């Protein structure tokens, strides 16, 4: 009697394990099918862009007073992104951007801070006619400092500055026949000083003007 009961329990467990395996396979198959369907139906438009980047570091002392002498520094910016349609006129645009932040220092030296960043923007696009369109984007950007120059030392390697940065960016673009003009800004929200001295802060800020092509 006990042996029969044990055998029935084993058979039941095996049946449940088989059902669980089948359910897992069906679940992952459904997820894969839904993902493939979304990708197939979503309108994806890659784009490339180059721009002039005009950067200035916002520096405050321990009292919160803004330090003078830091001036705007012109630099370079290049990016690739993909606009992924979510709904009519609404899209998300993840990408990769190389940008030069930094500032002209009070010592008259020009410090360039080179970052690779990953912006993840939410955009709204309005098609005015067959060739003319306007769009607005906003979102966070996550950056990693790869190098610096202009002061005789790499501020990242000497650990004067932390490599990771986060900013909020916003931009607007006017497009004509796939070519577009974009203006925008990046506002740093992270203190980039590796070791904040007496609660001093240094944040990256910049605005950019560039041209691009939307495929």
pLDDT, residue 106, reads 79
CA nearest neighbour of 205 among 62, 71, 69: 71
Q: Which two tokens stand for residue 49?
A: 């862009």
- The C-alpha atoms of residue 164 and residue 160 are separated, in whole angstroms, by 12
List per-block mean pLDDT (blocks of 10 residues) for the chain, which spans 215 residues: 50 56 66 53 87 92 74 94 92 96 85 94 95 97 93 87 93 97 96 74 94 97
Chain-centre distance for alpha carbon 108: 31
Phi, psi of 106 (to 5 degrees): -55, -25
pLDDT, residue 29, reads 67
pLDDT, residue 1, reads 56
pLDDT, residue 68, reads 77
Query: CB of 98 within 8 A of CB of 147?
Result: no
Long-range contacts formed by 33-40: CB under 8 A, 24+ apart: none
Residue linked to tokens 């180059």: 50
Kindly report whether the global pTM for this prediction surpasses the value 0.85.
Answer: no
pLDDT, residue 194, reads 76
Q: Give me the numbers of helices (H) and strands (E) for the chain, helices first please.
A: 1, 8
């Amino acid at each position: 009697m006990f042996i029969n009961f044990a055998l029935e329990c084993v058979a039941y467990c095996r049946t449940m394990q088989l059902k669980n395996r089948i359910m897992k396979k069906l679940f992952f198959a459904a997820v894969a099918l839904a993902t493939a369907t979304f990708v197939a139906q979503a309108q994806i438009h890659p784009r490339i862009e180059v721009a002039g980047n005009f950067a200035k570091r916002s520096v405050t002392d321990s009292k919160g007073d803004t330090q003078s002498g830091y001036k705007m520094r012109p630099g370079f910016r290049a990016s690739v992104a993909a606009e992924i349609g979510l709904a009519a006129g609404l899209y998300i645009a993840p990408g990769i951007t190389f940008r030069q932040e930094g500032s002209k220092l009070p010592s008259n030296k020009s410090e360039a801070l080179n970052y690779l960043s990953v912006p993840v923007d939410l955009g709204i696009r309005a098609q005015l006619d067959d060739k003319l369109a306007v769009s607005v984007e906003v979102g966070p950007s996550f950056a990693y400092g790869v190098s610096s120059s202009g002061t005789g030392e790499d501020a990242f390697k000497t650990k004067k500055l932390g490599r990771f940065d986060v900013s909020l960016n916003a931009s607007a673009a006017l497009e004509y026949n796939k070519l577009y003009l974009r203006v925008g800004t990046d506002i740093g929200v992270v203190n980039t000083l590796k070791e904040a001295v007496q609660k001093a802060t240094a944040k990256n800020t910049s605005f950019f003007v560039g041209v691009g092509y939307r495929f």
